[in-house]
Amino acid sequence: MRTHTVFPSLLLLGALSLTAACSSGPSGTADTTPSGAKPTSASATSTASPAHSVDPSKIKGLRIVSDSSEQKSCAFATSYPDVPGAEAMTAVMKKYVEQRLATFRSDGCSAAGTEDSEFNISHHFLVASGDVLGVRLTTHDSSAAGSGLSSATYWYDGKAGAYRTVLELVADGSRDAFLTAVKGRLQGREGVDAAALDSAFADPASASALLDDMEFTAAGGLRVTFDRGDVGVPAAGAYTVTLSAKTVTPWLSAFGERAQRQTVTPSGSLDLGATHTPTPAVPTHTASGDDDTDCKKVKCIALTFDDGPAVPETGTLLTYLAQYKARATFFTVGQNVAAHPDLVRAEARAGHEVGNHSWNHPDLTKLTAEQVAYQLNRTSAAIKAATGKEPTLFRPPYGAVNSTVRSATTLSPVLWDVDTEDWKYRDATKVARTVIDTTQRNDVVLMHDIHPTSVAAVPEILRTLTARGYHFVTVSHLRATL
């Protein structure tokens, strides 16, 4: 489908204030927001002290594994971290993400048959210090029952070189006392199903499946989060139970004690015993002045790359672009910018444009204005921290934009003219031929730098279209010179 998108659309109102989209009441924390809202785990609104934030850019060798579609009728975006040394934990997360995504693509998309179907898995680091790694995955599946929102935490013990289940934070001999305490905190809350609670906690296997989201607070307490509908009526939302450090510490396993200590007092470095920590090269290409291409006089194309930065794909792509003195626009995802700010700096240094593609790739049209503002403002802040400059453009995930989205930001939306569908066809030759055969003068081309096959297609695209007299410019430059 070809619809020219080069001219910016009228934007209505300034950015809105950042406010949480969760609510809490006497029954606990009711969290019914979709994945695009301000932190969706119920812990985000707990009165217990929050844990120290983790800077993912300090995790050596970190790779964010991402996948996404641009098909509105089957919208999905997933991400999880791959940390050197924690391969066993990565494998567990990978299996979960791939199984859930496969189910959604085979059942959720086809069953929906509309543009309301969306699947999103985002990640958040709980602790990455000493020999302890903790990660939360938050899943939003619009095809699932209820809110479709769930979360789970994953733990890795570097000292033992082993993935740990959530309940392994608690010593074997103390689990009965721990479960009794958690159950006691839940009983009597509005909406809690007492019979279902008794049944779930009576069976060790059921209790283990139910207790899949636990994290330490900055004060050393242990916060347990239950998804909506797990222990109470769905209308009551999610529930949290926070046990104080004084209460929970005697029950912790040796690993749990280390996880607690590294959360309360992070050591500042992570060592999981990896035998090899890859250090991806960051290109040092530097643009030689401003682009003086006049797109009124010559044929121009704006190549755009979504969902990065990615290791090592984005670095490879930057090298290819430099070889042809081509400039492009990168629509970056905030959680990936936070993990790899060095690559975003390299993009800007090489004369490319860095745009905003939301924090974790939700369909913005399904969010409130406040949630949209949070997604975009948080990402813009990460881009500015990396490059020193705030973006002026954003690409709405799935190309989904409406009046609510426009009113929530001063950023100018950018869609596309040529969709390579490279997320669907992982074939470098096919991607290259799509661009070469269908692109016309002043077109905006959609690609993704998270896919090796898409990056591999770029040299042929640059070589062939350069020979045909095309110049590769950023979206803003194309707009300014037409």
Q: Read off the tokens for 445.
A: 């081309």
Q: What is residue 35's predicted lDDT score, i.e. its pLDDT?
A: 45
Q: How far is residue 269's CA from residue 83's CA, in Å, rounded to a whole number?
A: 13
Q: Is 12 helix (H, G, I), strand (E, B) or coil?
A: coil
Whether 4 is catalytic is no
Residue 237 vs residue 402, higher pLDDT: 402
What pairs with residue 304 in β-bridges?
329, 446
Q: How far is residue 186's CA from residue 198's CA, in Å, rounded to a whole number?
A: 11
Q: Which residues contact 10 (CB under 8 A, 6 or more apart)?
A: 406
Among 357, 448, 451, 477, the active-site one is 448
- What is each CA distance from 257 to 250, 408, 412, in whole angstroms? 9, 44, 48
Phi, psi for 451 (deg, rounded to 5): -105, 120
Q: What is residue 115's predicted lDDT score, i.e. its pLDDT?
A: 57
Q: What is residue 188's predicted lDDT score, i.e. its pLDDT?
A: 86
Beta strands in 272-343 (DSSP E): 299-306, 329-332
Please state at what angle helix 341-349 crosses helix 369-387, rounded to 10 degrees: 70
Q: What is residue 170's predicted lDDT score, i.e. its pLDDT?
A: 97
Q: Read off the tokens for 442.
A: 């002043």
Q: In angstroms, how far apart are the furthest CA atoms of the chain?
A: 77
Please state at what angle helix 313-323 crosses helix 341-349, rounded to 10 degrees: 10
Per-residue pLDDT of 153-195, as tens digits, reads 999 999 999 999 999 999 999 999 999 999 999 988 988 988 8
Of the chain, the percentage scoring pLDDT greater than 90 comes to: 73
Per-residue pLDDT of 55-67, as tens digits, reads 999 999 999 999 9
Sign of CA dihedral 266, 150, 331, 316: positive
Among 67, 213, 306, 449, the active-site one is 306
Q: How far is residue 158's CA from residue 162's CA, in Å, rounded to a whole number?
A: 7
410, burial (CB in 10 Å: exposed 0-12, middle 13-18, buried 19+): middle
Whether 276 is catalytic is no
Please measure the distance between the N-terminal and C-terminal CA atoms of the chain and give it in whole angstroms. 22
> Average pLDDT, stretch 420-445?
97
Q: What is residue 38's predicted lDDT score, i.e. its pLDDT?
A: 56
> Average pLDDT, stretch 453-474?
98
Contact assessment for residue 350 and residue 325, using Cβ atoms and an 8 Å cutoff: no
What pTM value is reported for the model? 0.88
> Average pLDDT, stretch 88-116?
84
Using only C-alpha atoms, the chain has a radius of gyration, in whole angstroms, of: 23
Average pLDDT of every residue of the chain: 88
Q: How far is residue 79's CA from residue 334's CA, in Å, rounded to a whole number?
A: 12
Q: What is residue 48's predicted lDDT score, i.e. its pLDDT?
A: 53
Q: Read off the tokens for 378.
A: 């948080």
Strand 23-25 and strand 214-216: the pairing is: unpaired
Amino acid letter, residue 406: R
Q: What is residue 43's predicted lDDT score, i.e. its pLDDT?
A: 34
Secondary element (H or E) of residue 431: helix 428-438
Contact assessment for residue 182 and residue 224, using Cβ atoms and an 8 Å cutoff: yes
Q: How far is residue 263's CA from residue 214's CA, in Å, rounded to a whole number?
A: 13
Q: How far is residue 388's CA from residue 369's CA, in Å, rounded to a whole number?
A: 26
- What is each CA distance from 88 to 56, 323, 440, in whole angstroms? 19, 39, 47
User: Given a cut of 50, is residue 205 above it in pLDDT?
Assistant: yes
Residue 111 banded pLDDT, cuts 50, 70, 90: low
Q: How far is residue 65's CA from residue 71's CA, in Å, rounded to a whole number?
A: 20
- CA 325 vs. chain centroid, Å, equals 31
Per-residue pLDDT of 120-160, as tens digits, reads 999 999 999 999 999 999 999 988 777 789 999 999 999 99
Amino acid letter, residue 167: L
Of the chain, the percentage scoring pLDDT greater than 70 comes to: 88
The helix, strand and coil proportions of the chain, stated in percent and rounded to the nearest 5, come to 40, 20, 40
